[in-house]
Amino acid sequence: MMAPDRYAVFGHPIAHSKSPRIHALFAGQTGQALDYGAQDVPAELFSSAVAAFFAEGGKGLNCTIPLKELAWAYADIKTERAQLAKAVNTLALQADGRILGDNTDGLGLVADLTVNHGIRLAGSRVLVLGAGGASRGIIAPLLEQAPSSITLANRTVDKAIGLAGEFAHKGAVIGCGFGDLENQQFDLVINATASSLSGSVPPLPDGLLANNAVCYDLAYGNEPTVFVRWGQQQQAAKSLDGLGMLVEQAAAAFFIWRGIQPQTQPVIALLDAERGA
Ligand code: ATR
């Protein structure tokens, strides 16, 4: 019998990654024989670890913090969305031996918002907090949904203005500081800052949320993140964390590798139930 195709997630740290579990559930659900592991790979060892993985017969990798920019640089060919994001979370061995780099994060976010939560992005006023790599990856997929505007607010204002400028040819994107949000209202507020990691929320004015506004934190945890709690306090219609996005970006990677779309909702429901348990 042939050994199952090998995949893995590389990151640093990686111990708490849910990706091996998600891909094992997808594989079981779709009847695909594959082996998906997790490897702790610090940035300085990234190139050699990726080269060794593919030399030993590996078929595809996910790359997470802090390796997405390195994966972007490593890929021989890149999809347009990866090119725009300047970050890659999925590497796939091609038939000709080249390594394709793609980014399924933004796609995962949009799928979770629109399909799983029934949120309409067309015509909505979107606020994205943060102007780092996580923000960069979601702007183009959000713009494709035709929101009326995307405002990027960041602690370092110049970074928000610079990032907005990079996407200006794709739609209405404005960069500003948190202080500029006074007297503005939004239908969707996405936290793409690293502030959750330090247990804080960016300094946001009260009254930022329009009626029926949704808050979404790209981060997730077993407990509600501080930003999810902020959204609840501000009476958001929904205040969501990034668990659904995680499963959706994984499903898109699975499709890139295996050509089969797994069902995400049962996997999200299972992981959600497990963290509540
Ligand atoms: P990532 O790739 O995860 O986006 P990054 O490129 O380091 O990581 O960007 C982190 C983002 O979180 C930045 O927008 C950063 O703001 P600055 O550009 O001003 O540094 C933001 N950030 C980090 N800690 C924050 C905090 N405590 N409050 C507000 N913003 C924070």
For residue 82, the model assigns a pLDDT of: 96
Q: What is the assigned CATH class of domain 106-241?
A: alpha beta
Please state the atom number of ligand 1 nearest to the C-alpha of residue 136: 4
Q: What is the pLDDT of residues 22-75, one digit of tens each?
A: 999 999 999 999 999 999 999 999 999 999 999 999 999 999 999 999 999 999
Query: Is position 170 annotated as part of the catalytic site?
Result: no
For residue 1, the model assigns a pLDDT of: 67
Tell me the CA–centroid distance for residue 195 and ligand 1, in Å.
Answer: 7
Q: Is the CB of 198 under 6 A from ligand 1?
A: yes
Q: Are 261 and 255 in contact (CB under 8 A)?
A: yes
Looking at every residue in the chain, the average pLDDT score rounds to 96
Non-local CB neighbours of 148 within 8 Å, separated by 6+ positions:
123, 124, 125, 172
For residue 5, the cross-strand partners are 34
Across 236-250, average pLDDT:
98
Q: What does the alpha-carbon distance between residue 255 and residue 276 come to, in Å, rounded to a whole number?
A: 29
Q: What is the pLDDT of residues 178-226, one digit of tens each?
A: 999 999 999 999 999 998 778 899 999 999 999 999 999 999 999 999 9
For residue 197, the model assigns a pLDDT of: 78
234: how many CB neighbours lie within 10 A of its CB? 16
Token code pair at residue 72: 């972007």
Mutate-to-test residue for ligand 1 from 193, 195, 197, 226, highest number of ligand atoms within 8 A of CB: 193
Non-local CB neighbours of 141 within 8 Å, separated by 6+ positions:
81, 106, 107, 109, 110
Q: Is the CB of 199 under 6 A from ligand 1?
A: no
Break the chain into its structural domains and give their ranges: 5-103+245-276, 106-241
Report which protein residue has its CA nearest ligand 1's atom 24: 195
Token code pair at residue 227: 């930003």
- Fold adopted by 5-103+245-276: Rossmann fold (3.40.50)
